[in-house]
């Protein structure tokens, strides 16, 4: 192999390595976002988008393995409620049913695995339940 051919091959290999490294995401590149920041007290449907912050595009097929809802924003973290995941109405949108027993501030905590990524995406989303 000539010196010029070796130099070109090395440059191509380094460029390929840089491109594949830059394309890899971090779990900090994803976030859950509430579709609405208010819900009616009682049986409520909460829609949440999982978004790739680099592209602002929705992320489908994440596996939500942790979910909790409580009234931590109103200093009542021990006030929890049942929460159930429902089928997704569209790619990148995740739907939950919860019983909001009181009006006031609520926090929805979610943990998920995004396909092809290592680590966990975790967010705590705050919204208000109204009468």
Per-residue pLDDT reduced to its tens digit, 22-65: 445 688 999 999 999 999 999 999 999 999 999 999 999 999 99
Percent of the chain having pLDDT more than 70? 81
**Which position has the token pair 């971090």?**
26
**Mean pLDDT, rounded, of the chain:** 88
- Nearest alpha-carbon partner for 70 in 99, 37, 31: 99
CB proximity list for 46: less than 8 A, separation 6 or greater: 34, 39, 95, 96, 97, 98, 108, 127
Burial class for 10, CB neighbours closer than 10 Å (0-12, 13-18, 19+)? exposed
Query: Looking at residue 26, what is its pLDDT?
Result: 87
End-to-end CA gap in the chain: 77
Query: Looking at residue 24, what is its pLDDT?
Result: 57
- pLDDT range class, residue 21, cuts 50, 70, 90: very low
Does residue 16 carry a pLDDT above 80?
no
- Bin 80: left if φ > 0, else alpha if -120 < ψ < 50, else beta: beta
Does residue 83 carry a pLDDT above 90?
yes
At 96 the three-state DSSP class reads strand
CB proximity list for 64: less than 8 A, separation 6 or greater: 85, 94, 110, 111, 112
- Tell me the residue length of the chain: 131
Average pLDDT rounded to a whole number, residues 70-94: 97
Query: In sequence order, what are the beta bridge partners of 49?
Result: 33, 93
Query: Looking at residue 96, what is its pLDDT?
Result: 98
């Amino acid at each position: 192999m000539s010196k010029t051919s070796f130099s070109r091959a090395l440059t191509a290999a380094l460029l390929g390595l840089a491109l594949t490294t830059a394309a890899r995401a971090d779990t900090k590149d994803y976030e859950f976002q509430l579709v609405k920041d208010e819900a009616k007290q009682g049986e409520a449907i909460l829609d949440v988008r999982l978004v790739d912050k680099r592209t602002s595009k929705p992320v489908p097929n994440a596996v939500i393995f942790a979910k909790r809802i409580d009234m931590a924003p109103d200093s009542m973290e021990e006030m929890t409620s049942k929460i159930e995941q429902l089928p997704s109405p569209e790619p990148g949108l995740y739907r939950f049913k919860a019983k909001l027993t009181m009006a006031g501030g609520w926090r929805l905590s979610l943990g998920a695995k995004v396909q092809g990524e290592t680590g966990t995406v975790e967010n705590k989303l705050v919204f208000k339940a109204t009468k």
